[in-house]
Amino acid sequence: MPTDNARSVHVTINADGEVKDAEDPGLSDPWHRPWIDAHFPKTGRVYGWDISSYLSGGRLRRPRYAGSVAAAPSEPTDAADRQTLQVRPTHFIKLDAGYWGHYYRQSPQRNFGLIEGRNVWLCNYHGRSAFTNPASLQPDSGSLVDRLLQRLGSHGLHIELRTFATIPTNPDAAVPAGTKLYVCFPDLHLPERWPDLMPVGSRLPASRERAALRRLLWLGQCAPGPAADNLLTQSHLDTVQACLDSWAAGGTGGLHITFPASVSITASSDGESASVQISHNAITLDCSKDQVLAEKAHLDREIQAKSTWFYPAAYAGSRHAQPITTSSDEADPPEDETADDPVGVTGASHMSSPAADLANFLFVLRELRNSAGADHVKIVQVGDLYELWMNREFMYRESPVISGDQLGDRTTLTGISVRAALLNTGMSFPTAFQYRHDHDWVDGGAAHRAKRYVYHGWNQDLLLRRHDVAGANPGAARMGGLLTDRIAGVEDWSYAEASVDPLLPELRRWVNGRRADFTRANARGVTETRWNKIVLELICTELSSVRIHGNHDGYRSDSTLLTNRGSPAASTQWFSEVGVWVEHGHRWDYFNRDGVSMGAGMTNVVYYHNEELIAASGGRMAAVLQQEQGFFQTGSAQWYLLVNYGNRSWWGSGVENFSVFVSGHTHGPDLVKIYFQMATADRIADWARQRQEDVDRLQRRIRQAASEAADRAAQAARDASDRTSRAVHEAADSARRRMADAHRRASELWHEWTPF
C-alpha cells in the first residue's frame, strides 16, 4: 500500500458553510496566499448554476470538524486504560492535473493524474527516459495502476509517481469505484495549423526592401501612433487592408505604399545660431500580391510558432538577427529574417515530442483498456484541449450580454492593470490586451473577408462584459463558421516527418495503416504529419474519452454553434461519477470565466509577452500558477460543501457526491488534502486585518508602478531632450569648426599671395 505524501491544506468556513480562508504551507507568502474576496466569484451563472443563493441562511449541513481536544496519557500498567482516538475532520482530495506541453524556453511538462478506488496519484510521463519510483509510492500488485506500469515497461516507457494521497473515509462523501481506473489528462492547448510557406521564389530577395515589408506587416498588427511606437497612421493600415480585401475577393493588384520607418534629427548652423529639423525617413514599397503574401505567411509562421507552447519554436534565426542597413541608415528598415523557414525542424527531440509522447502514452492506455475492458478504464481530459483564443478575434463581440453580470467592480482590476503596465509594449490597459484579430472582423456592419492586421480596439467596458455564449445568438451562423474553421485548423496542424521516428512501432503501424488521414502535402509539395490529428484520434475516438471544455475552447460545449454533438471536437461542461468530480476550474477565476472577454485579452498578453512579464515583475509573475492554485483550492472546497452537504435537488441529475475534485487551468500540477475547520472570532478579526493589509500592499504597488512609469517617461523625455541638445550643440560646434577652418584657410591663402 503506497504512503501518503500530499500536502495538507486547511480551509476555514463560517457557520453558514461559506468558505472564508485557506492555509497552505506551500502557498504562504503574500504573492501566493489565497485571497478569497477578490478572486472567488460567488455570483454569476457558470455551468448553469449561480451558487450565491446557496451560501446564506445556514442551509448546508455542517461537516465533521475537530478543534483542539484535551487528552490524558494512558496508564502504562493498566491494560484497560486506553486512549480514545478522535475522529479526523472532514477532508477531500484536490488534484490539479497540470499541463502537457513544452513552454517556450522552459522545461517540458507531461503531467496527468490517476485515480483507482481510494488511491490518487499525481504523475509525470518520462517516456524512454528511465525512472525508478520509490517503493513508498508503488501501487498494489495486480491493481490497474500496477498493470499500466507493467505495460508501459514492456514498451520501454516510464512514468514518475510524484505524489500520492489516500481518499478519506467519510459517510457524507463517496469513494470512486475500486474496479475502475480514471486517467485525467490536463490542458493541451493544441494550436491551429501554421501558415504554409509559399515557394521560395515568391519572397523578395534579402534586402532593405524585404526588411521594410516585414516592418510594415509587423506594425500593421499594432495600434498606430507614438504610444505604440508605431509611426504608421490609420491611412497606412487602410491601404494594407484594402489590398487584403481585394486579394480575398480574387484581385491580383500589388501593394504600393510609402510609410515612415524612422525619425532623423538634423542640425545646422550659420556660425551665429543653430536650428534643428526632425523628419521622417520614408520608405516606398511596390510589391506584388505574391511577394506580400509570401512575407506575411513567413512572419505569421514565426509569430505563431513563438506564441505556441505545445510545439515550442526553435528558430533558425530571430526577428532581430539580420538588420539590413548601410552606414548612413540609422536603423530603417530595422530587421529581416533571412532564413527560408523561421522555425527550425527539430523533429522528435523537440518539436513533435509533446504530441509523440502523448500519442505513445495514449496508445498504451488503449492496449490496457482493450485488455481490462472499456468499463474499467475511463479517460478524462479536463479542458483546453484546443487553443481557440490565441491570435484571434474575441468571438464574444456579437454574443448577447448577460444583464447585470459584468466582470465586476472596476477597482478589482487594478492588479491586472498594473501587470499590463509592466509590459514592454508601450501600451496601457486595455490596449495592451489587444493584438492580432481574425478575418471576418465586423466593424460598423462591414464584414472584412481578409481582416488580419489592421488594428481595431475594444474599449474597457467591452472587455469587462460577460456574454451569454450558450444562449440564443444572433451571430451564430458567422461565429459557428469561424469556430468550425478553427477546429479544422487545430485538427490539421502538421509538421515535417521527424528524422528519427518518435512513435512506438505498434503505433507507427497503426498510423501507416491510415496514412491518408494523418499526412498532408504543404504548399511546397513536402509531406507533413498531422500530429494533432493523431493525438485527437486516439484520445477522442479510440479511447472514447470524456472531454470537458475550458476557458480557451468553451464554444465546444455550445450546441447552438457546434451543432454536431457527435463530433470528436464536441465537449461537455463538467464530469461527475460517484466519488469523482472533474471541471476545468476557470469559474473560480473571475476574469476568465466563460463569456468574459478579458480572458481572451489576457491570453494574448501571457502568450506574446510571457518573458517580458516575468522580467518586468522581478520574477514574481513566474509564480502566477501557484497563485491561481491558491484561489482554486477555496473554490473546490466550496463546491465540495455544496454538493456533499447541500440539497441534491439544487443541481439536478448527474451531480454525484465526490471525494476527489479534479481540475486543470492553472498549468501547475498539484495534489493536496483539504481539511475543513470552523472560524473563530479571532480568526474573523485576522481576516479583516489581513484583507486590509492586502489592499494597502496593492495600493502601494500601484503607486510604485505609477511612480516608476512616470520616472521612465520623464527619463525618456530627458534623454530625448539630451539627444536633441547634443545634436544642436554638435551641429553648432561643427559649423563653428567649419567657419574657423574657412577663416584659417583664407588667412593662409592671403599670406601666400601677399609678400608683405
pLDDT at 623: 46
For residue 11, tell me if it sits in a domain.
Answer: no
Cell numbers 442551509 correspond to what residue? 59
For residue 236, tell me if it sits in a domain.
Answer: yes
How many domains are there within the chain? 2
Q: How do beta strands 158-166 and 119-127 pair?
A: antiparallel
Range of the domain at 741: 699-756
For residue 381, tell me if it sits in a domain.
Answer: no
Q: Residue 711: in which H helix or E strand, if any? A: helix 681-753
pLDDT at 363: 97
pLDDT at 318: 45
For residue 233, tell me if it sits in a domain.
Answer: yes
- Alpha-helical regions (H) of 513-563: 515-518, 531-536
Residue 322 grid cell: 539580420
CA 288 to chain centre: 36
Q: Residue 381: in which H helix or E strand, if any? A: strand 377-381
Q: Residue 403: in which H helix or E strand, if any? A: none
What are the φ/ψ torsions at residue 477 (nearest 5 degrees)? -65, -50
pLDDT at 424: 46
For residue 188, tell me if it sits in a domain.
Answer: no
Half-sphere exposure at residue 163, Cβ-oriented, CA atoms within 13 angstroms: 20
Q: What is the mean pLDDT of each run of 10 residues along the chain (756 residues)?
A: 91 82 73 52 81 77 59 69 63 95 72 97 94 94 96 96 91 89 96 89 88 86 70 89 88 94 70 66 92 91 77 54 43 68 55 84 97 96 90 68 66 52 54 60 55 68 75 64 85 80 92 87 88 94 94 83 78 95 90 80 69 56 57 89 89 92 92 86 65 70 69 67 64 64 60 50
For residue 723, tell me if it sits in a domain.
Answer: yes
Distance (Å, whole) CA 298 – CA 250: 21
Which CA distances in Å does 103 have to 45, 112, 217?
A: 33, 16, 26
Residue 455 grid cell: 488594428
For residue 574, tell me if it sits in a domain.
Answer: no
pLDDT at 99: 93
Tell me the pTM: 0.83
Q: Which of 364, 383, 421 is nearest to 158 (CA)?
A: 364
CB 203 within 8 A of CB 160: no
**In this structure, what is the dihedral angle of CA atoms 290, 293, 294, 295, given to the nearest 10 degrees?**
130
pLDDT at 321: 38
For residue 437, tell me if it sits in a domain.
Answer: no
What HEC string does 212-235 produce? HHHHHHHHCCCCCEHHHCECCCHH
